[in-house]
Amino acid sequence: MNQTLFDIRPDFPAVHVTAELHGKRYHISNVKGFDSARKIATDFKNKYESARFFIGDVFDSTTIDGGTILFRRDYYKSAY
């Protein structure tokens, strides 16, 4: 993927949820508010304990290495 948050920003005011695992950053979701983003990040953290999750409303030059599907694949691959 190798895009930035700026590249994948939606057409509506949004808050992004990203994950970090083994030095890579993954885009999890864009939602309309911090409460929704916090819930998604918390749900993911409960399921994927060794990853770190972030929320924010600034779509900047942060490099994104993949999306949710790639995150899940890499997470489970690293467990074995």
Domain spans of the chain, in order of start: 3-78
Q: According to the model, what pLDDT value does residue 1 have?
A: 64
Q: According to the model, what pLDDT value does residue 78 have?
A: 83
Mean pLDDT of 63-79: 94
Q: How far apart are CA 17 and CA 26, in angstroms?
A: 9
Tens-digit pLDDT profile for residues 4-54: 999 999 999 999 999 999 999 999 999 999 999 999 999 999 999 999 999
Q: According to the model, what pLDDT value does residue 18 have?
A: 98
Amino acid of residue 7: D
Q: What is the pTM of this model?
A: 0.92
* Coil, strand or helix at 16: strand
Q: In sequence order, which residues have a C-beta less than 8 Å from that of residue 30 and are 6 or more positions away? A: 8, 9, 10, 14, 15, 16, 17
Q: According to the model, what pLDDT value does residue 51 have?
A: 97
